[in-house]
Amino acid sequence: MNNSNKRSWRDDFAFGILKGNPVLVLMIGLCPTLAVSVTLFNAVGMSIAVAFVLIGSNLMVSAIRKFTPSELRIPIFIIVICTFVTIADYLLKAYSPTLSQKLGVFVPLIVVNCIIIGRAEAFAYTNTVFSSLLDGIGGSIGFFLVISVIALIREFFGNGGIGEKIILNKPALIMILPPGGFITIGTLMGLMNYWNRRKKTRMSTN
Amino acid sequence: MEEKFILSVSPHLKTKEDVPRVMLDVIIALIPASLAAVYFFRWYALRTILVCLIFAPLAEWVSEKIMKRKNTIDDLSAVVTGLLLALTLPPTLPPWIAAIGVIVAIVLGKAFFGGLGWNPFNPALVGRAVLVACWPVEMTTWIKPVTSRVLQAVTTATPLNIVKEKLVEEILPTHLELFLGNRAGSLGETSVLALLIGGIYLLYRRQITWHIPLSYLGVVALSSFLLKIDVLFQLFTGGLILGAFFMATDYVTSPLTRKGQIIFGLLCGLMTMLIRLKGGFPEGVCYSILIVNMLTPTIDKLTVPKKFGARSRMFTNK
């Protein structure tokens, strides 16, 4: 609780985007990132679903944190997350059946997505509702940016273009196969580490 | 004036041998195979080899410029990677695919891991594996050698393909044809004779030892003998000779100890035969060496030589 007083609300919001980017820095939620980032359409759909669940569960967990017994907190988190995932799943099925069909099992699997339970445990459980809301929004934006960039790269090189537009005649098939996902994500992680490290050395020399 | 006594730690004797000299030997050893490739596939082979030789140092130079690393083109390792990759490619491959393969080999296979000496996988084979996954059709289109008066390319199947797919209408080449190189296949896997000349040169120059090639080829020969299939056919087809002498013996990605090298060769041979006989691909040299490359650190750890007087191989600090 003391931590939240020192940090400004900007830090809570920005943490999930760059410094604590769920996929590239914290390396959580890699499984859905790899599986769903084959096309941009799927990636955007997935990040909307994750954003809904992450913000909802962060709000709920921080709202009930004062009377959540710590030995029972994980099952309680899971129940909270399950509720939001079920809502998201049915909303998708009702309003966007194609997207729901394409994402398939990965929507129900948001329940066990490390990003959501990780933020609930590491942040929302010990912080105020407002900070948790900001953290959830920041994390969602971070996840959205990363998965969209990965999907953009993979779909462009692996499929030859975005959506219906095909630019490359002979696309590199590997990019829409699992190895392409690993290569893209590894390269982005390397760039992110380089960027963060350079920022750190610059700050220490100043 | 008294005599100078210079105290220093070992090594006391130094040779002139360095990385460029080793790489130069590998290039010399690959010349017969490259000439054979040009002889059998003419313009196609020349085109692919030239593209690879140009783009390999270029990719190395550009990536080192971007990463602000020391320029290492003059150690010739990029040239070796380019040449080795060229020899694993099919002749009719479009040049732009070969160029991408070389760039992937140098950047993804080597530079991303920290440059020469840090790569866990053989860079040339990484390039080939990526190309096979990206453009499977182009990477498995083979032509007959154009040594005969017919100069246009005739699409055909490789000997291993004929066996795997049980293509009855194709005629299998004889053992002599396989040995001399008159058959379809990648640039460097046609002429066993040319590859053996290069391999023997490397052995003579002591750039490689017999441990990896012999154990690799030995397992393939033994297992095909035990399974009662044509031993010479298994030895002479595919990229086996190229892989055993030039790919598996890569210093960076193979074990350091002699015992470890023999284990490495045995595992490579087993994987190759498993893929050839039971796997989905007709040839498994590339993947088998890549897979066993992953085990190299473990093999090294398990075969650490016992120190003189030490009780156990490992944990000697206790």
Tens digit of each residue's pLDDT (9 = 90 or more) over A23-53? 888 888 888 888 888 889 999 999 999 999 9
Q: Which residues of B touch A174 (CB under 8 A)?
A: 130, 133-134
Q: How far apart are CA A65 and CA B219, in angstroms?
A: 63
Cβ <8 Å between A174 and B100: no
A121 and A73 in contact (C-beta within 8 Å)? yes
pLDDT at A4: 47
Q: Given an 8 Å threshold on Cβ–Cβ distance, is B135 in contact with A170?
A: yes
In a domain, A206, yes or no: no
**Ranges of chain B whose pLDDT falls below 50:** 316-318
Question: In this prediction, what percent of chain B has a pLDDT beyond 70?
Answer: 91
Chain B neighbors of A173, CB-CB under 8 A: 133-136
Count of structural domains, chain B: 1
A2 falls within a domain: no
Say yes or no to pLDDT of A54 above 90.
yes
- Residue-level pLDDT at B314: 57
Q: Which of B133, B135, B138 sits opposite A177 (nearest CB)?
A: B133
Using a CB–CB cutoff of 8 Å, tell me whether A174 touches chain B: yes
Q: Is residue A53 part of a domain?
A: yes
Minimal Cα–Cα distance from B134 to chain A, Å? 4
Domain residues for the domain of B156 are 19-302
Chain A nearest-CA distance from B105, in A, is 13
Read out DSSP for A110-156?
A: GGG-HHHHHHHHHTGGGS-HHHHHHHHHHHHHHHHHHHHHHHHHHHH
CATH number at residue B40: 1.10.3430
The helix (run of H) or strand (run of E) holding residue B155 is strand B155-156
Strands, DSSP E only, in A71-114? none
Question: What domain range includes position A175?
Answer: 8-201
Secondary structure of residue B91 in the 3-state scheme: coil
Answer whether residue A5 shows pLDDT above 70.
no
Nearest to B196, CA basis, from B240, B253, B254:
B240
Mean of the pLDDT values across residues A115-141?
90
User: How close is the nearest chain A Cα to the Cα of B142, in Å?
Assistant: 19
Q: Minimal Cα–Cα distance from A190 to chain B, Å?
A: 9
A chain contacts of residue B136, beta-carbon cutoff 8 Å: 173
Question: Average of pLDDT values for A75-89?
Answer: 93
Whether B317 maps to a domain, the answer reads no
Residue B29 burial (CB count, 10 A):
24
Between CA B299 and CA B304 the distance in angstroms is: 9
- The pLDDT value recorded for residue B312 is 63
Contacts A156 to B, Cβ<8 Å = none
Q: How many residues does chain B have?
A: 318
Of B100, B112, B133, the CB nearest to A179: B133
Q: How many residues does chain A have?
A: 206
Q: Which residue of B has its CA nearest to A176?
A: B134
Which chain B residue's Cα is nearest to A170? B135
Contact check, Cβ <8 Å, B133/A190: no
Is residue A177 less than 8 Å (CB to CB) from chain B?
yes
**Of residues A173, A187, A190, nearest to B134 (C-beta):** A173
Indicate whether B88 belongs to any domain. Answer: yes
Which residues of B fall within a CB distance of 8 Å from A179?
Answer: 130, 133
Q: What distance in Å separates the CA atoms of residue B123 and residue B116, rounded to the nearest whole number?
A: 10
Pick from B100, B108, B135: CB nearest A183: B108
Interchain CB distance below 8 Å, A170 and B100: no
DSSP state letter for B305 = P
Q: Which residues contact B127 (CB under 8 A, 6 or more apart)?
A: B81, B85, B101, B102, B104, B105, B106, B109
Q: Is residue A1 part of a domain?
A: no
d(CA B148, CA B235) in angstroms, rounded, equals 25
pLDDT at A6: 61
